[in-house]
Amino acid sequence: MRTAYDLSPLYRSMIGVDRMADLIDAAMRSEGDSNYPPYDIEKTGEDSYRVTLAAAGFSAAELEITAQPNLLIVAGRKAKADDGRTFLHRGIAGRNFERRFELADYVVVKSADYADGVLSISLAREVPEALKPRRIGIQSGDAAGNVPRLEEPQAERRAA
């Protein structure tokens, strides 16, 4: 049983929390059959990740990957093939699926591979140079010898 939380009081005192509230709401929303297909999310480096989906029974042409800002959608669409076969037991899942992954800011899809029924999607966080922290050098006025004076020293004032 899930309980919906009202996060509207946070909107009064925090700016930008609406995106966080939307993410929490999406995570708590109940989705039917949300465990198909099984997947892993792996951190492969400081700013790199890999999503691996078990998509047995699908060909690469039946899989579709869509990258949007802050969202990765992986969909599998099985072509309806009526080849006259009769199954006594059908244990290999071949149903259509759509799996959505919320991505953090600046996470982009780098590549995708499909082999042996396993789809691997490589992701990386690429923060623009303008947003990366940078060190600012501090120049000392005494060392440069060209510090502008705002007041004359008292000895020079008395002489005048």
- The pLDDT tens digits for 129-159 are 887 788 888 988 765 556 555 665 565 555 5
Domains of the chain: 1-30 (no CATH), 37-81+91-133 (2.60.40.790)
Q: What is the 3-state secondary structure (H, E, C) of 109-160?
A: EEEEEEECCEEEEEEEECCCHHHCCCCCCCCCHHHHCCCCCCCCCHHHHHHC
pLDDT bracket for residue 79 (50, 70, 90): confident
Q: Answer yes or no: is pLDDT of 12 > 60.
A: yes
What does pLDDT average to over the chain?
A: 80
| Average of per-residue pLDDT across 14-18 | 64
* pLDDT of amino acid 5: 66
Residue 68 falls in which region: left (phi positive, over 0), alpha (psi -120 to 50) or beta: beta
Rounded to 5°, the CA angle 144-150-152 comes to 100
- The pLDDT tens digits for 94-117 are 788 999 999 988 899 999 999 999
pLDDT bracket for residue 36 (50, 70, 90): confident
Q: Percent of the chain beyond pLDDT 70?
A: 66
Phi, psi of 145 (to 5 degrees): 75, 5
